[in-house]
Amino acid sequence: MIKKIFIVFFLILQIIILNCKKQQDTVVANQGFINFTIGDVMLKSNGSEQIAKIGDVIKEGMFIITKGDKSQAEIFFGDNIIKVLGNTNIEVKKLLSNITKNSSDSEFFVHKGAVFSKVKKLGKNDTYFVKSPTATAGVRGTEFLVEEEGGKASIACIDGKVECINNSNPSDSTIIEKNEEAVVIPGQNIVKQQISADRLNMLNIIRNFKEVRDDIRKQYEKAIEDIRKQYEDAKRKYREDLEKVREEAKAAVEDQRARDKAAVEDQKARDKATIDAAKGVSQQAAKEAVAEAGSQMSAAKDSARKESATSGVQDQINQMKQLNKSIVTPKQ
Residue 145: pLDDT over 60: yes
pLDDT at 303: 72
- Please name the residues in contact with 144: beta carbons below 8 A apart, sequence gap of 6 or more: 116, 117, 130, 137, 155, 156, 157, 158, 160, 162
Task: For residue 261, give the 3-state DSSP assignment.
Answer: helix
Sign of torsion over alpha carbons 16, 18, 21, 23:
negative
Q: What DSSP state is assigned to residue 134?
A: S
pLDDT band at 304; cut points 50, 70, 90: low
CB 54 within 8 A of CB 74: no
Task: Report the pLDDT averaged over residues 136-140.
Answer: 92
CB 103 within 8 A of CB 125: yes
Task: Report the pLDDT averaged over residues 250-258.
Answer: 84
> Can you give the C-alpha Rg of the chain in angstroms?
51
Domains observed in the chain: 31-212 (2.60.120.1440)
Q: Return the half-sphere exposure (C-beta side, CA atoms, 13 A cut-off) of residue 229.
A: 6
CB 237 within 8 A of CB 22: no
pLDDT at 172: 96
pLDDT at 218: 83
How far apart (Å, rounded) are the C-alpha atoms in residues 110 and 9? 53
Q: What residues does 115 pair with on adjacent strands?
A: 84, 146
What is the chain's mean pLDDT, rounded? 84
146 or 27: whose pLDDT is higher? 146
With 0.75 as the threshold, say if the pTM is over it.
Answer: no
Highest mean pLDDT among 192-196, 262-266, 283-287, 318-322: 192-196
Residue 185: pLDDT over 70: yes
CB 58 within 8 A of CB 33: yes
The residue type of 116 is F
Task: Report the pLDDT averaged over residues 162-176.
Answer: 96
How far apart (Å, rounded) are the C-alpha atoms in residues 159 and 141? 8
169 or 213: whose pLDDT is higher? 169
Task: Report the pLDDT averaged over residues 39-60.
Answer: 95
Q: What are phi and psi of 222, to 5 degrees?
A: -65, -40
Question: b vs e for 48-75, b when ≥16 Cβ sit within 10 Å of the residue's Cβ?
Answer: eeeebeeebebebebbbbbeeeebbbbb
Residue 177: pLDDT over 80: yes
251 or 195: whose pLDDT is higher? 195
Q: What is the dihedral of CA 165, 150, 127, 209, to 10 degrees?
A: 130
Residue 241: pLDDT over 90: no
239 or 200: whose pLDDT is higher? 200
pLDDT at 210: 87
* Other Cβ atoms closer than 10 A to 144: 27
59 or 266: whose pLDDT is higher? 59
pLDDT at 212: 82
Residue 4: pLDDT over 60: no
How far apart (Å, rounded) are the C-alpha atoms in residues 33 and 95? 12
pLDDT at 159: 95
Residue 317: pLDDT over 60: yes
Q: 23-27, 28-32, 191-195 — which is least confidently predicted?
A: 23-27
How far apart (Å, rounded) are the C-alpha atoms in residues 322 and 70? 169
The percent of the chain in helix, strand and coil, each rounded to the nearest 5, is 45, 35, 20
Q: What is the pLDDT of residues 57-113, one digit of tens each?
A: 999 999 999 999 999 999 999 889 999 999 999 999 999 988 778 888 999 999 999
